[in-house]
Amino acid sequence: MAKIETPRPIRGTQDIIGPDAEAFAHVVETFERVRKLYRFRRIEMPVFERTEVFARSIGETTDIVSKEMYSFEDRGGESLTLRPEFTAGIARAYLTDGWQQYAPLKVATHGPLFRYERPQKGRYRQFHQIDAEIIGAAEPQADVELLALGDQVLKELGIADVTIHLNTLGDAASRDAWRAALLDHFRAVKGDLSEESQERLEKNPLRILDSKDARDKVYVADAPKIDDFLSDEAGRFFADVTSGLDAAGVKWVRAPGLVRGLDYYRHTAFEFIPDEGSASANALGSQSTVLGGGRYDGLMDSLGGAPTPAVGWAAGIERLAMLVGEGHADLQPHVAVIPVGEDALTVAQSVLAEIRSYGIEAETSFRGNLKKRMQRANASGAAFAVILGSDELASGLATVRNLSNGEEYKTPIRTLDVDLHTLVAVHKFNRGSQPDPLADALEGTQVKMTKDGLVISLLGNAPLHSDDQ
RNA sequence: GCGAAUGUAGCUCAGUUGGUUAGAGCGCCGGUUUGUGGUACCGGAGGUCGCGGGUUCGGAUCCCGUCAUUCGCCCCA
């Protein structure tokens, strides 16, 4: 008998459930809320493009294109690539879909990206990012707005021990002059550099500034600084960005060694990096950047479009989720509906529908006797159980059990939705969860339960909703 | 592409210098309690010890290969 072997998941992909999945969703929901606050328009993008979209914009010769893209041929022989980033695809859409008409255009999106890399902590072959771009704006105010968005997203996620590391690469002329000076500087001491940096010297000299090797750091310290090569215009641009950030209350530090590898980057470059020794730094291991981006005024040209200024950033959802921690599941108390016996099943369904339509989270288990279902209700973390058995059907009074303290009482099945709404609000309030208008109204009062029914004595003299805040 | 560590129950792991029937905690199923969960007690199911080969009277344990996972290097749009 041949045993069927279960197919394994693809290397570097992940199946997420539980607290990690809740944290993931929390990151996306927070991003969605904040980007609306900043009036960034939501866009949806394909996950694959013609290979040339990425090859042209990123550069044919880089490791990225030659080794790290998921490329394949479709049935027509066309080379396609799973997107390794958002920016190139968005730039393509800007050119092919006539989005110039919206310029300056603020857009945001999120979703899966793919890179053929060796997986390690916080790095996967399929990973997910949130992304924001401003296209068609050459003004430093766009950089400020974009950075402020990123800063607020992190703050609202409760990630406080992260700082913006900010640098400028200048305009094209500044950047080229600086690069030439760096080459001279490092070539003079080539033999003393680490093996990796000797390689970088030919391929990507700016990257030497990032080196962690002690042998390189000696020479990095007195390497030429971009500031000495900035044109007046580029210097003014950077000054406008930093003063704008200060005015917006966004904290940043200057990071003269921070560079972006690709040629199309100009002016502003930044990474949000956990502070040394912080909880976030420890949580991320060697993968330290949580959000990164910059100005890419040179990108549209490489795709055959008119020169178009643009600035953007992206942040890994998995990495952010690692930093927000647990505790994002089950913030809302929920109710378990427990039918006992065949007759109660349909009543349970209509009760579920009613209390859900009232905005209360509710579920029922599909099988088991009362004991079994009570166990499941407890395991699911339900705040209340509603028991519907023959007694309850006969009397029209449901049994409501508070699962945190075991108190039990009867209440008319007809008005379960209203009664539960009150109970849930009180429960939330007692637990110190987010304030609810009803819970506010109930502050300092008590809800009385009697054998005959749920009596909310204060409902007669307190408003259900408070509009004065 | 390079380096290191780890693969034993659904999960997290123990398993001594190679020795008889491979264990624990949690989870799961059942019982003490036929309409009452969370605590407690009792019982039960569940394992080709990643896979293949070798050494040996005997391998979860030692050797070789292979696959996978993890962490790091390179790279990082």
User: In this predicted model, what pLDDT tens digit does every residue of A310-334 receive, in sequence order?
Assistant: 999 999 999 999 888 665 655 678 9
Helices A19-37 and A140-156 cross at an angle (nearest 10°) of: 140
Residues A76 and A131 in one domain: yes
Position A454 pLDDT exceeds 60: no
**Domain end call among A324, A343, A358:** A324
CATH number for position A296 = 3.30.930.10
What pLDDT sits at residue A327? 59
* Residue A198 located in a structural domain: no
Q: Are residues A240 and A345 both part of a single domain? A: no
Residue at a domain's end among A324, A354, A383:
A324
CB A440 within 8 A of CB A426: no
pLDDT over threshold 90, residue A149: yes
Q: Is residue A57 part of a domain?
A: yes
C1'-nearest nucleotide to the CA of A87? B77
A406 Cβ neighbours under 8 A, 6+ residues apart = none
- Span A401-412, pLDDT tens digits: 999 888 898 999
Query: pLDDT band for position A5 (50/70/90)?
Result: confident
Number of domain units in chain A? 2
Helix, strand, coil tally for chain A in percent (to 5) = 45, 20, 35
Q: Minimal CA–CA distance to A388: which of A337, A353, A439, A425?
A: A337
H-state helical runs in A69-156: 87-96, 140-156
* A150-184 pLDDT tens trace: 999 999 999 988 999 999 999 989 988 998 999 99
Q: Residue A126 CA to nucleotide B1 C1', Å?
A: 20
Q: What is the pLDDT of residues A69-78, one digit of tens each?
A: 898 899 999 9
pLDDT surpasses 60 at A445: no
Kindly state whether residues A427 and A350 are assigned to the same domain: yes
| Residue A444 DSSP code | T
Domain closes at, from A278, A294, A324 = A324
Residues A88 and A119 both lie in one domain: yes
DSSP A401: E
If asked whether residues A455 and A367 sit together in one domain, one would say yes
| pLDDT value, residue A130 | 97
Which chain B positions have some atom within 7 A of a protein CB?
1-2, 28-30, 33-38, 68-77
Does A421 map to a domain?
yes
Closest nucleotide (C1' vs CA) to A388 is B35
CATH number at residue A455: 3.40.50.800
DSSP state of A446: -
Question: Distance between CA atoms of A298 and A302, rounded to whole angstroms?
Answer: 7
For residue A414, the model assigns a pLDDT of: 92
Q: Give residues 70-99 of chain A lying near strand B (Cβ < 7 A).
A: 84-85, 87
CA of A120 to C1' of B60 (A): 28
**Residue A358 labelled as part of a binding site:** no
Q: Are residue A250 and residue A338 in the same domain, yes or no?
A: no
CA of A89, C1' of B56: distance in angstroms: 62
How does pLDDT run across A48-62, given as a tens digit for each residue? 999 999 988 776 656
Does residue A394 lie in a domain region?
Answer: yes
**Burial annotation A400-411 (CB, 10 A radius, 16+ → b, else e):** bbebeeeeebbb
- Say if A346 falls within a structural domain: yes
CA–C1' gap, A225 and B5, in angstroms: 41
Contact A171, A267 (CB under 8 A): yes
Q: What is the pLDDT of residues A200-217, one digit of tens each?
A: 887 778 888 877 777 888
User: Is the ipTM above a cut-off of 0.90?
Assistant: no
The CA distance from A312 to A292, in Å, is 9
Query: Beta strands A41-42 and A105-114: pairing type?
Result: parallel
Higher pLDDT, A340 or A259: A340
Q: Among A181-185, A197-201, A229-233, A442-446, whose mean pLDDT is lowest?
A: A442-446
The pLDDT of residue A447 is above 60: no
Residue A1's pLDDT is what? Answer: 39
The answer on pLDDT for A468 being more than 60 is: no
- Look up the domain containing A397 and give its range: 334-460
